[in-house]
């Protein structure tokens, strides 16, 4: 009986010591997390953009319309001279935005430029009082790593969400590809543009939105031309997307130099090959990306690319993923002829495609009055169009001379 009592006392003492150790560890984690949040919060701001339109109507007509749209998100300070990075979706078409710090200071911010492709925007405020955040130069996180999202949820700055890095799409070794961070973390209205922070207090990316999925999906035979058919509405998931810091800062540099970015354009929607698709194609060793749709009037359509084609090479470089193709097309020089190789019905085909200019719809339709673009942005686009028209005229002369 005495031996049992001794054993019971020993177990109780061990559990008590373990409980005390766990409590100490939890307190240490709590202190470190709050320290990180406090440090990074000094470098985030609330960004509010307002755009309005008015409809002309007779003087006493109550149908006169004035629509005001306000978007509220987050931004991260990255430069000593009042430079802030956020998302293009937060800024919209506004030229000026309202910026508020966690300390309550308010500024009028000027939109220096946006890149709709990556959903990045750069803002500048006239102050040197803002503290730049520490951006990670290298991605040291792995799936399962703890991360924090610091944002402006429902207008409460700062708000904090805790989660983990779910996975990484693309390659983080290259800054111009389509790499993205997928996060298992709740995102609320106002968090878009907020920093994704590692436990070391470094900004490893900024949030650009939540992932969605179709309510219903069915598959079709690839030989019929269509790979996947989607029906039903898109539903939000519990996963969020963020653009990695290295890619983010490369886009920012481009915006600061050019005011906007100019990328090559092919005009295909593609998806990675799965084992199931390889079985459908009767080629278990096939590497490439399969075309799911082609943009009408695009360079891809002009050379006869159709859904179901498998692109295996672009510019003599192998294509094994969506990131490979996106990187190659995005960095190609518009107007250049580039070798493209693909598989159709088991046959290897190749041709040259003339790279187009990627023109976001907001630029294609842009006017200074409606979208308040900077004059230099419009001039840059006019020069691009002149070059493109010259190339088209040259191609037209070649076609006519061949007849």
Question: Which pLDDT value is given to residue 197?
Answer: 94
Query: pLDDT tens digit string along 164-181?
Result: 998 887 654 444 455 788
Higher pLDDT, 67 or 85: 85
Q: Are 228 and 217 in contact, with CB atoms under 8 Å apart? A: yes
Beta bridge partners of 183: 165, 240
Kindly give the pairing relationship between strand 159-169 and strand 180-184. antiparallel
Question: Which pLDDT value is given to residue 27?
Answer: 80
Neighbours of 209 (CB within 10 A): 16
Beta bridge partners of 147: 163, 198
Location of structure tokens 């709050």: 34
Question: Which pLDDT value is given to residue 133?
Answer: 94
Q: Are 178 and 118 in contact, with CB atoms under 8 Å apart? A: no
Mean pLDDT to the nearest integer, 204-219: 68
Higher pLDDT, 52 or 103: 103
Show the domains of the chain with their CATH numbers.
32-53+68-216+235-261 (2.40.10.120), 264-357 (2.30.42.10)
Among the listed residues 330, 319, 213, the one whose alpha carbon sits nearest the alpha carbon of residue 309? 319
Query: pLDDT tens digit string along 229-242?
Result: 444 445 556 788 89
Question: Which pLDDT value is given to residue 356?
Answer: 81
Higher pLDDT, 386 or 228: 386
Among the listed residues 144, 246, 241, the one whose alpha carbon sits nearest the alpha carbon of residue 202? 246
Q: What is the distance between the alpha carbons of residues 48 and 9, in angstroms, rounded to a whole number?
A: 62
Q: What is the distance between the alpha carbons of residues 73 and 46, in angstroms, rounded to a whole number?
A: 6
3-state secondary structure the chain: CHHHHHHHHHHHHHHHHHHHHHHHHHHHHHHHHHHHHHHHHCCEEEEEEEEEEEECCCCCCCCCEEEEEEEEEEEEECCCCCEEEECHHHHCCCCEEEEEECCCCEEEEEEEEEECCCCEEEEEECCCCCCCCCECCCCCCCCCCEEEEEECHHHCCCEEEEEEEEEEECCCCCCCCCCEEEEECCCCCCCCCCEEEECCCCEEEEEEEEEEEEEEEEECCHHHCCCEEEEEEEEEEEEEEEEEHHHHHHHHHHHHHHCCCCCEECCEEEEECCHHHHHHCCCCCCCCEEEEEECCCCHHHHCCCCCCCEEEEECCEECCCHHHHHHHHHHCCCCCEEEEEEEECCEEEEEEEECEECCCHHHHCCCHHHHCCCHHHHHHHHHHHHHHHHHHHHHHHHHHHHC
- Asked if pLDDT for residue 117 goes beyond 60, the answer is yes
- Asked if pLDDT for residue 309 goes beyond 50, the answer is yes
Q: Are 99 and 82 in contact, with CB atoms under 8 Å apart? A: no
Return the top range by mean pLDDT from 14-28, 83-97, 122-136: 122-136
Question: Which pLDDT value is given to residue 75?
Answer: 95
Higher pLDDT, 366 or 166: 166
- Asked if pLDDT for residue 11 goes beyond 70, the answer is no
Kindly give the pairing relationship between strand 289-294 and strand 268-272. antiparallel
Inter-CA distances, 340 with 162, 355, 399, Å: 44, 11, 21
Q: Are 139 and 204 in contact, with CB atoms under 8 Å apart? A: yes
């Amino acid at each position: 009986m005495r031996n049992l009592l001794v054993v019971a006392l020993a177990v109780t003492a061990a559990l008590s010591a373990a409980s005390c150790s766990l409590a100490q560890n939890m307190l240490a984690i709590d202190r470190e997390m709050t320290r990180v949040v406090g440090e990074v919060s000094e470098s985030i701001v609330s960004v509010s953009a307002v755009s309005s339109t008015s409809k002309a109507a007779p003087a006493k007509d109550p149908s006169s319309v004035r629509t005001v749209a306000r978007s509220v998100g987050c931004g991260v300070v990255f430069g000593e001279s009042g430079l802030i990075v956020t998302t293009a979706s937060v800024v919209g078409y506004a030229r000026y935005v309202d910026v508020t710090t966690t300390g309550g200071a308010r500024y009028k911010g000027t939109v220096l430029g946006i890149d709709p492709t990556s959903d990045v925007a750069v803002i500048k405020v006239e102050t040197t009082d803002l503290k730049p955040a520490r951006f990670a130069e290298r991605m040291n996180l792995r799936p399962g790593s703890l991360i924090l999202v610091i944002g402006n949820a429902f207008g409460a700055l700062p708000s904090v969400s805790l989660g983990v890095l779910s996975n990484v799409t693309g390659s983080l070794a290259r800054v111009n590809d389509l790499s993205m961070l997928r996060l298992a973390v709740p995102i609320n209205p106002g968090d878009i543009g907020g920093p994704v922070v590692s436990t070391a207090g470094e900004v490893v990316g900024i949030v650009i939105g939540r992932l969605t999925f179709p309510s219903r999906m069915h598959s079709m035979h690839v030989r019929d031309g269509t790979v996947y058919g989607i029906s039903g509405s898109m539903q939000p998931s519990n996963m969020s997307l963020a653009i990695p810091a290295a890619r983010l800062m490369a886009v920012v540099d481009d915006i600061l130099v050019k005011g906007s970015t100019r990328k090559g354009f092919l005009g295909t929607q593609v998806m990675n090959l799965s084992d199931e698709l390889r079985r459908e194609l009767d080629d278990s060793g096939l590497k490439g990306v399969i075309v799911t749709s082609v943009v009408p009037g695009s360079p891809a359509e002009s050379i006869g690319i159709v859904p179901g084609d498998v692109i295996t090479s672009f510019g003599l470089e192998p294509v094994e993923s969506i990131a490979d193709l996106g990187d190659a097309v995005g960095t190609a020089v518009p107007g250049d002829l580039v070798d493209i190789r693909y598989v159709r019905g088991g046959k290897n085909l190749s041709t040259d495609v003339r790279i187009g200019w990627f023109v976001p719809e907001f630029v294609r339709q842009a006017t200074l009055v409606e979208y308040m673009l900077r004059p230099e942005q419009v001039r840059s686009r006019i020069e691009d169009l002149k070059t493109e028209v010259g190339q088209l005229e040259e191609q037209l002369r070649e076609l006519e001379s061949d007849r």
